[in-house]
Structure 1
Amino acid sequence: MASSSSAALAPMLAAHDAKVDARTWFAVAAGLLGAFMAVLDIQITNSSLKDILGTLSATQEEGSWISTAYLCAEIVVIPLTGLLARVFGLRAYMISTTALFLVCSTLCGAAWNLPSMIVFRMMQGFTGGALIPMAMTLVMAKLPPSKRATGMALFGLTATMAPTLGPTLGGYLSELYGWPSIFYINWVPGLLLIAGIAYGLDKDRRNWALLANADWLGIAFMAMGLGSLTIFLEEGNSKDWFDSNFIRLFATLAIVGLVGWIAISALRKEPFVNLRLYLRRNFFVAATLAAVTGMALYGSSFLLPLYLGQIANYTPMQIGEVIMWAGLPQLFIMPFVARLSSKIDNRIMCTIGLLLFGISCLMNGYMDASYGYDELLWSQVVRALGQPFIMLTLSNFAMNGIAPQDTPSASSLFNMTRNLGGSIGIAMLATMLTNRQHFHSERVGEAVSLLSDATQSRLDQMTQGFIAAGIDPATAGSQAIAAIDRIVRRESYVMAYNDGFLMMAGVLFACIVVLWFADKTKSPSGGGAGAH
């Protein structure tokens, strides 16, 4: 992508103060809707997983492949989108991949067993993943610099709201219409997307010769490396990491694939995606922070629904009502952030966002078993206020000073890194949750000893309560001990969830230091250039 093979995209770029007509806005809006839909589908099965597994007669461990298959295919196709858009033309590629995504979504809703669901989810991820970087490319290519802050703000919403609203929408749809509806609902935004792209973009010329000259060896190494890394991260915790031959195999394949991809990209004059962009300081800082904030973004959307389901015994719909407050306020704060981004150093704005996001995690780091909607509402609102400051400014840092021919590469790599960060974050938090629960269970268990007077007093009270309910004394004593054990396990899980949120808060605060290694940047405005 570094030279002539991507020059075809350069004429698409709009002049600085060019007027944006309705067709262009339709195309950009359609692209953003596609990105939102693709990111939403990563998380949308989480709330409905129990119902899906029951229908497909699968265990919880087997069911993890429903998400893994989607993520694996999505992460592989993202770096390929620049090449495929040049081969088929942007308009034709987006329409065709959306149409295939809708077909695959329908097949997911009609899956008859677990293997069929995994195959259809993989196909869905491969077709939908392309929509994420294409949305960012459309913003950069079709909007003039004076309008790009608005476009990037809207793109930021797809990155932060979709993971948040996925469990909410999935919970509502599953409870009201059954789990297949979470896949069938894609037809609504999908058809709007196709109509918007068909109306808003002109037809492009096909360039089949690029397929013959493509860096197929680099593509093969990339697919093996990223696919294996995703499987390693998603399945590692459930298989005890390196104690499993399966995990060791995929860790080896990931290393070989990624090293091979980097080596071939360094040696080839025209790699299919320009990895040298990581050598640019601003892009490297933006990509690193995107990965880390991706860990926190997807990690929060992973931990909180788990806590509400396991500790508070919330239904999927009730969980959705809590989680949605991390998304809805962003609709109102994002226009304000977009305007500020052209006037204030984006490092200051991103610092504010990281502080707010970190504070929201701190607020969730001291929960007890009684926490529910009322106690969690304000932490969700604080998180919603902070996320737009982060995603918009990181996009600005990543795309600042990028040459027109490298725009598709930058978009692909930035979004790929963010999604990888999400996978890494969920893997780390799942492992941490298991380990810290065992740790706290042992510590609390030592304090709640059967030799302790306080424990014996509590057991006697509970035993008498069971006897008063008509249970014989021997059974009542056993039930009292079992009840104490459940309380110990519950409290140890609550402390483990708290540890997870506190770790995310610490990581987000540490990111502020890394952020200031980037150059001073502002969004372009109508008055002039935006980078300094």
Structure 2
Amino acid sequence: MASTTHDTPAALKPFAPPAPGEKVSARTWMAVAAGMLGAFMAVLDIQITNSSLKDILGTLSATQEEGSWIATAYLVAEIIIIPMTGLMTRVFGMRAYMMGTTSLFLLCSTLCGFAWNLPSMIVFRMMQGFTGGALIPMAMTLVMAKLPATKRATGMAIFGLTATLAPSMGPTFGGYLSELYGWPSIFYINWGPGLLLIAGIALGLDKEKRQLNLLYNADWLGIAFMAVGLGSLTIFLEEGNSKDWFESSFIITFAALAIIGLLGWAVTGALRKQPFVNLGLYGQRNFFAATALSMAMGMGLYGSSFLLPLYLGQIPGYSPMQIGEVIMWAGLPQLFIMPFVAKLSSKVDNRILCTFGLLLFGGSCFMNAYMDATTGYDQLLLSQIVRALGQPFVMLTLSNFAMNGIQPKDMPSASSLINMTRNLGGSIGIALLATALTSREHFHSQRLGESVTGFAAATQERLAALTQSFLSRGFDSATAGDMALKAIDGIVRREAYVMAYNDGFFLVGAVLFGCIGVLWFSDKVKAPSGGGGGAH
């Protein structure tokens, strides 16, 4: 497949990395740091509304099902804009595009805080996704385009932190801010890092000449197919479980649109000489393996971030702030382990490091697959720390696999595609887990119900004890009997849900362990060191 850009010096210059021995200026590091801040902010905003959703829905007078569109709108817009960042960067230049899209993101974030009803919130969240989504691949592009090969392991380590810390810290930040300052503060908080980002990019990057003519010659048919395909696929995944999947004509419609859009995108991309994103990169073995693993990693990252807060809120009844205190342990240790992983990545075969990371991450999910109704902060602490130790080994090495051997002109495409597939993996993971939770809860309720019958001696003893307890509180015998039955039913439902959550974590762990086999189809890769190449 053809490259993504016109093969002219002007088009290639922004993406040509410095020579291996070239010293990196403070300005460049400032720009890279600003890009990382943007990626962290954009990923954080995917999850930050989760712990505050009940408060938001109460203010906007919306139901739980309607409220799911608050997250879906952001994800749809984000996944559509990510593949377009390479084109937009060539048109406006890195500096102008990043400053412009960040300014709009801050404006849209503020509008979200001012939303007066559900439709306005959905529109503003979609606008926020369109403007913020570009910041994720741009961070990786900055690392590849502005740092010499010998410094990329450090840059990728920082990028890996943004991708793994943000999903872990989103519910934590959201919970604390909502409880202390009200839910609009989760949107206003973006102004701090956003202004720092704009300043860092303004000072760290040189101005580039705009190439507006590229907009006229862009593959707009391919872009339209991509938008329809990815947008419809995200809606299908996000809304499928609540609408009972293919029992709903709404879901069938979006499934059909997703297939048409994605096939149309693939065909137009293959036929055009200058597609807006180079899908031909999927034909490279290392890149294909890395994106497949990135999708699975997205399932693991967003899936575990979906299951645990849900369990903690439903079973032990934790507040958003308490949930945040548990989840932060999946994030904080990464700050200390990532520099160590970056050093190892230039000395050890990255397949070995990634395998180790997958074993830790998958193992932490299996540790969570044996919870009971009393499991809380103390029991979950070790699994969260094991998860935090494993994630950096996977994220950094996957970036090395994906970008190994990529030509400068294809760096924006590679960055867009790997980040797009990780986000898609997150949507697929959450959709699978939400469906699995529902079906497995029904399954376990039926199995438990077969044992907990009125004829079982243990059930009769428990009913008698509960009835006596309610009688001692002053209830009449008929009411006490009904309350005892409802209490037994509640215990059965609670245990069924705990078993369903355990099944969910087991599924995520199994997927991550299964990825180890896929990983070894890729070539041996080490991060460059001391002026070396990309692969050894």
Is contact 2:149–2:531 with CA below 8 Å preserved after alignment?
Answer: no
| 3-state SS in 1 of match to 2:242 | helix
Query: Structure 1 counterpart of 2:125, which letter?
Result: R
> In structure 2, what is the equivalent of residue 132 of structure 1?
136
**What is the aligned partner in structure 2 of residue 98 from structure 1?**
102
2:526 maps to which residue?
A: 522
RMSD (Å), alpha carbons: 0.8
Selected match of 1:464 from 462, 468, 471: 468
In 1, Cα distance between equivalents of 2:146 and 2:491: 58
Offset at 1:453? 1.4
The answer to whether the 8 A contact 2:113-2:187 is kept is yes
How many Å separate the matches in 1 of 2:290 and 2:73? 27
**Offset at residue 3 of structure 1 (A):** 5.7
Q: Deviations over 1:391-435 (max 9, x none)?
A: 000000000000000000000000000000000000000000000
Report the equivalent of 1:178.
Answer: 182
Offset of 1:29 from its aligned partner?
Answer: 0.2
The one-letter code matched in structure 2 to 1:421 is G
Partner of 1:10: 12
1:283 to 280, 287, 290: 287
Is the aligned partner of 1:86 residue 2:114? no
Q: Is the 8 A contact 1:342 1:530 kept in 2?
A: no
The C-alpha deviation readout for 1:313-356, integer Å capped at 9, x for no partner, is: 00000000000000000000000000000000000000000000
Task: For residue 211 of structure 1, report the CA deviation from its aligned partner.
Answer: 0.6
TM-fit CA distance, 1:6: 6.1
SS in 2 for 1:528: coil
| Structure-2 residue corresponding to 1:188 | 192
Indicate conservation of the 8 Å contact 2:20/2:531, yes or no: no
| Kept after mapping to 2: 8 A contact 1:39/1:159 | yes
Partner of 2:396: 392
Q: What TM-score does the superposition give when structure 2 sets the normalisation length? A: 0.98
Match of residue 230 from structure 2: 226
d(CA) in 2 for partners of 1:3 and 1:147? Answer: 25
Kindly report which structure 2 residues correspond to 1:344-383, keeping only aligned pairs within 5 A, or say none.
344-383=348-387
- The CA distance in 1 between the partners of 2:69 and 2:444, in whole Å, is 29
Instruction: Give the match for residue 212 of structure 1.
Output: 216
Shift of the 189–3 alpha-carbon distance from structure 1 to 2, 3 Å rule, reads closer
Paired residues of 2:400 and 2:527 also in contact (CA < 8 A): yes
Provide, for residues 44-71 of structure 1, a one-character-per-residue CA deviation record: whole Å limited to 9, x for no partner.
0000000000000000000000000000
SS of the aligned residue for 1:261 comes to: helix
| Residue 150 (1) aligns with residue 158 (2) | no
Query: Does the CA contact (< 8 Å) of 2:56 and 2:183 recur in 1?
Result: yes
Aligned to 1:198: 202
Distance, in Å, in 2 between the alignment partners of 1:125 and 1:380 is: 29
Displacement, 1:10?
3.2
- Which of the residues 325, 333, 337 maps onto 2:329? 325
Please name the residue that 2:517 is paired with: 513
Match of 1:239 in 2: 243
Residue 294 of structure 1, CA deviation: 0.5
Determine the C-alpha separation between the residues in 1 that align with 2:192 and 2:375.
36
8 Å CA contact retained: 2:4, 2:413: no
Matches within 5 A, 1:241-320: 241-320=245-324
Deviations 1:460-515 (A, max 9, x none): 01000110111111100000000000000000000000000011111111100000
Rounded to whole Å, the distance in 2 between the matches of 1:49 and 1:343 is 45
- In structure 2, the CA distance between the partners of 1:390 and 1:236, relative to structure 1 (3 Å rule), is same
Counterpart amino acid of 2:3? A
Partner of 2:63: 59
- In the alignment, the residues of structure 2 paired with residue 303 and residue 6 of structure 1 have an alpha-carbon distance, to the nearest angstrom, of 46
Could you say what secondary structure the match of 2:370 adopts?
coil
1: CA distance between counterparts of 2:418 and 2:26? 28
Does the alignment pair 1:415 with 2:416?
no
Q: Offset of 1:4 from its aligned partner?
A: 4.8
**1:266 CA displacement:** 0.6
What residue number does 1:50 align with? 54
Helix, strand or coil for the counterpart of 2:533? Answer: coil
Q: Does 1:477 align with 2:481?
A: yes
SS in 1 for 2:412: helix
Q: Would you say the 8 A contact 1:6–1:86 is kept in 2?
A: no
1:31 aligns with 2:35: yes
Residues 433-474 of structure 1: CA deviation (Å, up to 9, x unaligned) = 000000000000110001111111110010001101111111
Q: Look up the match of 2:171.
A: 167
CA contact (8 A) 1:9 1:404 kept: no
The one-letter code matched in structure 2 to 1:10 is L
Partner residue, 2:457? 453
Q: Whole-Å Cα distance in 2 between the matches of residues 258 and 79 of structure 1?
A: 13
Shift, 1:527, TM fit: 4.0
Superposition deviation, residue 203 in structure 1 = 0.5
TM-superposition CA deviations, 1:73-96 (whole Å, max 9, x none): 000000000001111111000000
Identify the match of residue 345 of structure 2 among 325, 341, 345.
341
CA distance in structure 2 between the aligned counterparts of 1:10 and 1:31, rounded to whole angstroms:
20
* Structure 2 residue identity aligned to 1:302: F
User: Which stretches in structure 1 are left out of the alignment for 5+ residues?
Assistant: none
Once residues 489 and 200 of structure 1 are traced to their aligned partners in structure 2, the CA distance between those partners, rounded to angstroms, is 56
- Residue deviations 1:234-283, cap 9 Å, x none? 00000000000000000000000000000000111110000000000000
CA–CA separation in structure 2 for the residues paired with 1:358 and 1:217? 41
Residue of structure 2 equivalent to 1:502: 506
Whole-angstrom distance in 2 between the partners of 1:267 and 1:176: 54
d(CA) in 1 for partners of 2:5 and 2:504?
47
The separation in 1 between residues aligned to 2:210 and 2:532, in whole angstroms, is 36
| 2:173/2:324 contact within 8 Å kept | yes
| Cα distance in 2, alignment partners of residues 225 and 509 from structure 1 | 30
Structure-1 separation of matches of 2:515 and 2:144: 26
Tell me, in whole angstroms, the C-alpha distance in 2 between the residues paired with 1:15 and 1:85. Answer: 22
Match for 1:234: what amino acid?
E
Summarize the Cα distance change of 1:6–1:158 in structure 2 as closer, same or farther, 3 Å threshold: farther
Percent pairwise identity: 76
Q: Match of 1:252, as an amino acid?
A: A
Aligned-partner SS, 2:6: helix
| Residue 385 (structure 1) shift | 0.1
Q: Distance in 2 between matches of 1:143 and 1:240?
A: 48
Runs of 4+ in 1 over 3 A off after TM superposition: 6-10
